[in-house]
């Protein structure tokens, strides 16, 4: 391991819960990596809705971290290895790595330099851009785990609410790959985009999903709340719901019981095998990643405001180099 004594790193912190403008960039010393850690120069992080909700003080991650501020958000990291701990094998200085890091409580990816447990990292394959790799961990694993949980059979009809977002655009492609007929809801500007991914798109501004679709076998809900409750009216009996937003999961499960369908919530789990599969799918062209905007770290407030609109297509990234 080779490192200067105690380097410093710029990182974004949530000093207290509040609007996007509360985010601050601070400089802090960084210890040498522990035996099982790799020190990484951050290149890209992605912004997920959970980062934004936590910053606002909402949801389970905010609840768990309320006594732990200032706290650096970010679970999706791509960077370059600067140093490796003494017991780490498989990584060398200069390797480009990607990881779903510190989930759920530590996070920390919005940083120019950080120490990461080596088991959370993979090398970025040469066949994929650093930006696409950074977009994948949390959103890609959520999409893959949701589609697997849904046990979709070829020929079944699947409705995905919110198909144009970070999780949605990946879930649509994975569901199409199962051989299902995939329907998805989006606004007018995303109708054509959804068609390019192989889904039949429904404009939710024209009428609620329940007035446009019937006889659905599987609902993958990425929106939650009243939108999901309405979409449950599209289901045939015996169908399944996978509801992803944790805040309204109990409400959706209660309604499922009322109408005689099964519903499950889920919390994404780190899984390096699945992440490897996703990276390879992007590399061989069978999965397309859409990146709406890359903001510089200095513009982290704007990046949070964009995700907070709830209308991002694909993913928003932070360029950690400036």
Cα-atom radius of gyration of the chain, to the nearest Å? 20
Q: Within 48-67, which residues bind ligand NAP (CB under 6 A)?
A: 48-50
Kindly identify the residues of this chain, within the stretch 30-49, that bind ligand NAP according to CB under 6 A. 48-49
Determine which residue in the list 9, 65, 185, 306 makes contact with ligand NAP, applying CB under 6 A: 185
Residue whose CB is nearest to ligand NAP in the complex, by number = 165
Single out the residue of 91, 95, 92 nearest to residue 78, CA to CA. Answer: 95
The distance of Cα 191 from the centroid of its chain, to the nearest Å, equals 22
**Which residue, 187 or 198, is less far from ligand NAP as judged by CB?**
187
User: Quick count: other Cβ atoms within 10 Å of Cβ 64?
Assistant: 13
- A 10 A CB-CB count for 63 gives 10
CA 48 – CA 234 distance, rounded (Å): 28
Near ligand NAP by CB under 6 A: residue from 45, 160, 164, 234? 164
Interaction residues for ligand NAP, span 3-22 (CB under 6 A)? none
Identify the residue among 72, 115, 118, 142 touching ligand NAP (CB under 6 A).
142
Closest CA to 272 of 147, 118, 151, 154: 118
Output the CA torsion sign for 272, 274, 278, 284. Answer: positive
- Nearer CB in complex with ligand NAP: 112/306: 306
Determine, following the binding rule CB under 6 A, whether residue 137 of this chain makes contact with ligand NAP.
no
Span from 4-12, 21-29, 36-44, 242-250 in contact with ligand NAP (CB under 6 A): 242-250
Q: Which residue has the tokens 């490897």?
A: 276
Q: How many CA atoms lie within 13 A of 15 on its CB side?
A: 6
Residue with tokens 């985010």: 23
Q: Which of 307, 317, 318, 320 binds ligand NAP (CB under 6 A)?
A: 307
The answer to whether residue 193 forms part of the interface with ligand NAP (CB under 6 A) is: no
Candidate segments 38-46, 74-82, 165-173, 210-218, binder of ligand NAP by CB under 6 A: 165-173
Looking at the Cβ atoms of 9 and 312, the one nearer to ligand NAP is 312
C-alpha dihedral (295, 110, 8, 32), degrees to nearest 10: -140
d(CA 305, CA 230): 28
| Token reading at 137 | 């961990």
Exactly one of 12, 186, 199, 213 binds ligand NAP (CB under 6 A); that residue is 186
The reply to whether 222 sits near ligand NAP by the rule CB under 6 A is: yes
Q: Give contact residues for ligand NAP (rule: CB under 6 A).
A: 48-50, 138-139, 142, 161-162, 164-168, 185-187, 190, 204, 222-223, 227, 244-246, 266-268, 307, 310-313
């Amino acid at each position: 391991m080779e490192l200067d004594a105690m380097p410093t790193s710029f990182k974004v912190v949530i000093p207290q819960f509040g609007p996007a403008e509360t985010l601050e960039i601070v400089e802090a010393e960084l210890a040498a990596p522990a035996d099982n850690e790799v020190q990484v120069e951050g290149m890209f992080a992605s912004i997920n809705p959970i980062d934004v909700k936590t910053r606002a003080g909402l949801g389970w991650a905010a609840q768990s971290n309320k006594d732990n501020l200032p706290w650096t958000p970010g679970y999706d990291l791509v960077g370059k290895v600067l140093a490796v701990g003494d017991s780490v094998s498989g990584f060398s200085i200069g390797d480009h790595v990607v990881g779903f890091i510190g989930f759920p409580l530590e996070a920390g990816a919005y940083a120019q330099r950080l120490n990461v447990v080596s088991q959370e990292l993979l090398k970025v394959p040469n066949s994929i851009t650093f930006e696409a790799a950074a977009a994948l961990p949390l959103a890609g694993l959520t999409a893959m785990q949701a589609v697997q949980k849904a046990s979709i059979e070829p020929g079944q009809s699947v409705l995905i609410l919110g198909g144009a977002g970070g999780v949605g655009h990946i879930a649509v492609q994975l569901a199409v790959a199962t051989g299902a007929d995939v329907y998805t809801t989006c606004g007018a500007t995303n109708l054509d985009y959804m068609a390019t991914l192989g889904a039949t798109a429904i404009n939710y501004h024209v009428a609620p999903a329940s007035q446009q679709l019937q006889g659905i076998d599987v609902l993958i809900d990425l929106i939650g709340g009243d939108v999901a409750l309405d979409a449950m009216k599209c289901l045939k009996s015996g169908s399944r719901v996978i509801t992803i937003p944790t805040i309204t999961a109990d409400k959706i499960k209660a309604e499922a019981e009322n109408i005689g369908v099964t519903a499950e919530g889920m919390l994404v789990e780190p899984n390096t095998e699945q992440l490897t599969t996703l990276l390879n799918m992007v590399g061989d062209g069978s999965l397309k990643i859409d990146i709406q905007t890359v903001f510089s770290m200095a513009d982290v407030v704007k990046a949070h405001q964009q995700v907070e609109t709830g209308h991002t297509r694909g993913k928003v990234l932070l360029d950690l180099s400036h």
